[in-house]
Amino acid sequence: MLQSASARRAALALVVGAAIAGCGAAPELDQQLETLSSWTATLELAKERHGAAAISTTYATQLADAARSALGKTEQQIGHAVHSRIDSSYAADALDSLRGAIRQLDAETGR
Amino acid sequence: MKKWGEIALGVVTSIGGFLEVGSIATSVQGGAIFHFQLAWVLVLGTASLAFLMEMTGRLAAVSRRTYADLLRERFGYRFFVVPLLAVFIVSLLVLTSEIGGVAIALQLATGIAFRWWAIPIALIGWLLLWRGTFSIVEQGTAMLGLVALTFAVGAVKLHPDWGTLGRALLPSTPSRDSARYWYIAVSMLGASISPYLYLFYSAGAIEDAWTIEYLSVNRITAGLGNLFGGGLAIAALVTAALVFEPRGIQVDRYEQIALVLATPLGRAGLVLFIATLCITCFGSTLEIALAIAYLLAQGFGWQWSENLKPGKDARFSTSYTVLIVLAAVPIALGADPLQLTNLSMVVTAASLPVTVIPLLVLMNDGDVLDTHVNGWISNTALVVIALLSVVLLVAALPLQLLGGG
């Protein structure tokens, strides 16, 4: 009984450990760069559409806010996924592009 | 003449009722990443749903009992608890996603955060269920849901390559990112073949007092309605493939999806997208709340009908009241509607065997269906759908972990 209880505790510790490691693990760099580039493209399209009066300022502002939130989340995680100087330079470029796209959309919507 | 009117109404209802939060989100996600390549999944999902709806409708018209009633009577209460629990949990998740869809639509229109809309949506939905009749819920929202035809207009205006799209209607395997491809495929199937759709259809046949004379209405409604409805889901995939995929835009948030119609249709496109999301999700909210209440009432042998005054079927009315409020809570607390939608579609796909496999037995039971038992075409289709449901059950969890991002 004791043996099975300690075995259960060990198994539980393993599962919890794996879950914590899984939750804490940063997504791969490729995936994070893809997300950043997707948001940059989204904001570029939004800027173009707002310029053509195809989308409202209310909506464009929400897109900029959503991108800002994605940027903040990625900034926190991307350090864990960077393993070399080249990785670091890719990450910095992608982050700068998104920051620039946010600034441009903010300017377009008069924020 | 009356029958043709009912057929037209049934088809329109199916078209308007097909698109909802799951099919819009998963079709757009699929098109944004894999261009037209996942269109075949919508064909498979639509055909499967058409067969399941025709069979559960036939079952109700001939036996004058719903699918849930027959499940309990034929297999016993102990067995019935399994589909009851599975469909209850899955449908509650989908109901939450639908409320999230309406809330996001209102956020896009007003700028007020979606979480503030959850409780008002639940209250308006409850009021409609409390005061309305079955035809108001079924036909009213579905008629308004025809605004979803906007996706077809948007797709045509983008001039898709019809040859490529035609080839994509046949199954293919991915050349890259297999885990995500199959994850989205499973989500799309979950969105197309939700159990609530055929359980609601079966209960609706009883509400509308269908008899054997309605078998042709049933066949045409299930076939044509889903054909057009599935066509709209393909149109959503096509617009995303032509607007998002070339620009490298993936869909991580609902806010991005609205751009899909603002590109081909301008300002009207944005307005119509918001209207489509709001109306179709609200219609589905009402249908799912009713479908779960029907299931509980039929399972426990309570009095039930949306056409009765709430006091006459108190436990049934209390069920949808509690459910709709319960489902609004996670959205009010700020749960991400898109993540919730994706999760609920995968879980839905995994739950299919418990409602699909027993149908094989019922549809071949002469005591229930007399001479209207399944022929070889329906049986072949049902066996294929049952096998597919088992594959989805096995694959859903690993794909959620590998491809769910």
Residues B249 and A38 sit within 8 Å (Cβ to Cβ)? yes
A37 touches chain B (CB under 8 A): yes
| pLDDT for residue B397 | 80
Interface probe with A: pick from B110, B115, B259, most Cβ of A within 10 Å: B259
Question: Are the beta carbons of B405 and A27 separated by less than 8 Å?
Answer: yes
pLDDT band at residue B307, thresholds of 50, 70 and 90? confident
Res. A22 pLDDT band, cuts 50 70 90: very low
Do residues B131 and B317 touch, judged by C-beta distance below 8 A?
A: no
pLDDT mean across residues, chain B: 91
Question: A75 versus A43: which is more confidently predicted?
Answer: A43
Percentage of residues of chain B with pLDDT beyond 70: 96
Structural domain that includes position B102:
2-403
3-state secondary structure of B65: coil
Residue range B393-402, pLDDT digits in tens: 888 888 877 7
Whose tokens are 């919507």? That residue is: A109
* Predicted confidence (pLDDT) per residue in B70-84, tens digit: 999 999 989 999 999
Task: Report chain A residues whose CB lies below 8 A from the CB of B107.
Answer: 62
Of A31, A54, A66, the CB nearest to B267: A54
Measured between alpha carbons, how far is residue A69 from residues A39, A75, B17, B253 in Å? 11, 10, 34, 11
CB contact under 8 A, A45 and B250: no
Picking from B243, B250, B255, the nearest residue to A63 by CB comes out as B255
What per-residue confidence (pLDDT) applies to B251? 93
Overall size of chain A counted in residues: 111
Hey, are the CB atoms on B262 and A54 less than 8 Å from each other? yes
Beta-sheet strands, E only, within B300-366: none
pLDDT digits (tens, 9 = 90+) for B248-276: 999 999 999 999 999 999 999 999 999 99
Does the pLDDT of residue B392 top 70, yes or no? yes
Do B255 and A66 make contact, defined as CB atoms within 8 angstroms?
A: yes
Q: Which of B243, B249, B270 sits opposite A59 (nearest CB)?
A: B270
Contact B248 A37 (CB under 8 A): yes
Total count of domains within chain B: 1
Mutate to test the interface with A, among B28, B29, B108, B401 (most CBs of A within 10 A): B108
pLDDT, residue B398, reads 84
* Confidence at residue A109, expressed as pLDDT on a 0 to 100 scale: 93
Backbone torsions φ then ψ of B335, nearest 5 degrees: -60, 140
Task: Give the confidence band of B404 by pLDDT, cuts at 50, 70, 90.
Answer: low
Report yes or no for ipTM above 0.95: no
Task: Report pLDDT for B331.
Answer: 97
- d(CA B125, nearest CA chain A) in Å: 26
Give the pLDDT band of residue B2 (cuts 50, 70, 90). low
Q: Cβ of B178: how many Cβ atoms within 10 Å?
A: 13
**How distant is the Cα of B259 from the closest Cα of chain A, in angstroms?**
7
Instruction: Please tell me the least confidently modeled range out of A13-17, B91-95, B210-214, B215-219.
Output: A13-17
pLDDT at B405: 58
Q: What is the pLDDT of residue B16?
A: 59
Residue B290 belongs to domain with CATH number: 1.20.1740.10
pLDDT digits (tens, 9 = 90+) for A27-39: 688 889 999 999 9
Chain A residues in contact with B250 by the CB 8 A cut-off are 34-35, 38
Q: Which of residues 89-108 of A touch B (CB under 8 A)?
A: none
Choose from A28-37, B191-200, B357-366 the range with maximum mean pLDDT: B357-366
Percent of chain B, pLDDT > 90? 68
Question: Tell me, what's the pLDDT at A77?
Answer: 85
CA distance A97 to B79: 57
pLDDT digits (tens, 9 = 90+) for A77-100: 887 777 788 888 888 999 999 999
Q: What residues of A are in contact with residue B259 (Cβ under 8 Å)?
A: 42, 45-46, 49, 55, 63
Nearest CA in chain B to A63: B255
> What is the count of residue pairs from A and B with beta carbons less than 8 Å apart?
65
Choice among B58-62, B263-267, B300-304, B380-384 with the minimum mean pLDDT: B300-304
CA geometry: angle B257, B258, B262, nearest 5 deg: 130
| Gap from B97 CA to chain A (nearest CA, Å) | 19
Q: Which residue has the tokens 């269109």?
A: B39
Whether the per-residue pLDDT at B58 is higher than 50: the answer is yes
pLDDT value at position A14?
Answer: 42
Do A41 and B263 make contact, defined as CB atoms within 8 angstroms?
A: no
pLDDT given at position B17: 66
Q: Quick: pLDDT tens for B107-165.
A: 999 999 999 999 999 999 999 999 988 888 877 777 787 888 999 999 999 999 999 99
d(CA B37, CA B388): 19
